A and B are shown apart, each in its own frame.
Chain A
């Protein structure tokens, strides 16, 4: 079955950087778009970025554009999120998720367990 495992979360100071990774298993990773969604404590879901199956077709939410970089390595079946210039507003659980197969199917059909990120001095 589909498995998505995030790693790299933790505590970081304001202005700092952090890199999240997502390891995929149980499906043909190179065939799927992938994305990141976050959830601040006690808040709702916020899509932040997704990446096409070949590594192009990248889109970011305005809240992270210019600060976060999404990438993937199909050979390693992994995806990453480089997060720079972090602020307290970036404190959240970050979920790795698989985008549905097919044309214009930008919903998320499988999710990882989430990586907590806390930005605090």
Chain B
């Protein structure tokens, strides 16, 4: 089974900072990767799919990149409303749709 490892598990950054979250697959998954945002006490929300395509309505300060085994989610100019836990999810196979462990983003 392919494992998804996110790093860091948590981070603290200042408003306006550029934030990068990494997701690594234990085997290649092409570009079959999605990113989700879950604000405290809220429902997860799809941010990015196919590794780099922004879901409709998501602010352009969010971007995704990568393919194969290494992926990144970047938040350009972190905003207070971006405080959340971010998850990656692989979907290269319908047999197993694994999520990463999550990265908690806080404001310094």
Contact = CB atoms under 8 A, between A and B. Distances in A.
Contacts, number: 62
B34 A95 contact: no
Nearest to A33: B94
Report whether over half of chain B's contact residues are helix, strand or loop; otherwise say mixed: loop
Contact of A61 (B38, B85, B96, B100): B96
Given A44-B102, A45-B99, A47-B98, A105 B43 contact: no
Interface of A: 35, 37, 44-47, 50, 57, 59, 61, 95, 100, 104-114
Contact of A95 (B43, B46, B49): B43
A10 to B, nearest CB: 19
Interface of B: 32, 34, 36, 38, 43-46, 49, 55, 85, 87, 89, 91-92, 94-102
A111 B43 contact: yes
A106 B94 contact: yes
Contact of B44 (A59, A104, A111): A111
